[in-house]
Amino acid sequence: MTRRALVLGGGGITGIAWEWGILAGLAEAGVDLTGADLVVGTSAGSVVGAQVASGIEAETRYQAQLAPPDGELAAALGRGMLLRFALAMLGPAGAQRFRARVGRIALRARTEASEADRIAVIESRLPVREWPERRLLLTAVDAETGRFRTFDRHDGVPLVHAVAASCAVPGVWPPVSIDGRRYIDGGVRSGSNADLAAGADRVVVLAPLPRGIGPMTGVGKQVEALRAHASVVLVTPDQAALAAFGRNVLDPANRAAAARAGYAQAAAVLEEVRPVWS
């Protein structure tokens, strides 16, 4: 039985940092979300989720977010790519059709890093290599069909590849090859995919990017559906955190500020989270 589920949404480098800040701040106050029976990770949340489910302490990873981003380059979606995404939303109706159009954009895009280089970067930043025993679901989208896919330890897919697929932002990073298919960011379906926590009794959702755009489902609707059968709390960035994120969530220069903002925000959400988790 899944009693407690932790959902970690996407939000780039700043989203990773903010989530670690929230987790560390809550843990210090006595609410340890890392003990979840189920962890759901999407995009940035897949990076955090893989480590949470593996038992890595939030404080350790929070401190790592405060290190200077020496040698790390900022990535960004250019105006041309954003225009292509906007046009993809104007095509034939249907969420999967939309995701397939975005997938085609991703497959055709010229990215700075190759697929192999990107996987190597993910591996170098991920202090775990094997799937944890605890239930962990990582999300991705088939770039050709638009079909939504989750990966877990029973699929025979290397953890690093599953995380890389979930983080493959279309037009920024190349799609990731798994079992003959190419996969892109799970956030193309939903920023958090919180509906995967259905069946849990208590759910905490950390959503750096809560809004839905076009066919991409916002976390609010998914949380409302979960509340019909579970106690749920949704945590989204406050104004200080949004300011720390800046305009580019893929810029490592904003990582430390985002982490500190999450750590500070934890005190404000503590009394909302505690009764749900405990």
* 3-state SS class at 252: helix
Mean pLDDT of the chain: 93
Across 60-64, 111-115, 185-189, least confident range:
111-115
With bands split at pLDDT 50, 70 and 90, how would you rate the model's confidence at 79?
A: low
Strands 202-206 and 231-235: parallel
* Contact present, 261 and 240 (Cβ < 8 Å): yes
More confidently predicted of 88 and 210: 210
d(CA 177, CA 50): 19
In whole angstroms, what separates CA 167 from the centre of its chain?
Answer: 7
Across 47-51, 69-73, 127-131, 190-194, least confident range:
69-73
d(CA 35, CA 245): 27
Which pLDDT score is estimated for 87?
Answer: 66
> What average pLDDT does this structure show over 110-135?
93
More confidently predicted of 254 and 81: 254
Q: Strand pairing partners for 4?
A: 202
Query: Measuring CA to CA, how many Å separate 62 from each of 5, 10, 204?
Result: 21, 17, 19
Active-site entry in 46, 142, 166, 185: 185
Torsions phi, psi of 189, nearest 5?
Answer: -85, -50
With bands split at pLDDT 50, 70 and 90, how would you rate the model's confidence at 278?
A: confident
Q: Strand pairing partners for 140?
A: 149, 185
Which pLDDT score is estimated for 85?
Answer: 62
> Is the pLDDT assigned to residue 83 strictly greater than 90?
no
pTM of the model: 0.94
Which tens digits make up the pLDDT trace of 128-176? 999 999 999 999 999 999 999 999 999 999 999 999 999 999 989 999 9
Q: Is 185 a catalytic residue?
A: yes
* Contact present, 104 and 142 (Cβ < 8 Å): no
Which pLDDT score is estimated for 56?
Answer: 95
On the CB side of 83, CA atoms within 13 Å amount to: 3
d(CA 71, CA 129): 24
Enter the tokens of residue 4: 């407690």
CA dihedral 228, 233, 237, 240 (to 10 degrees): 140
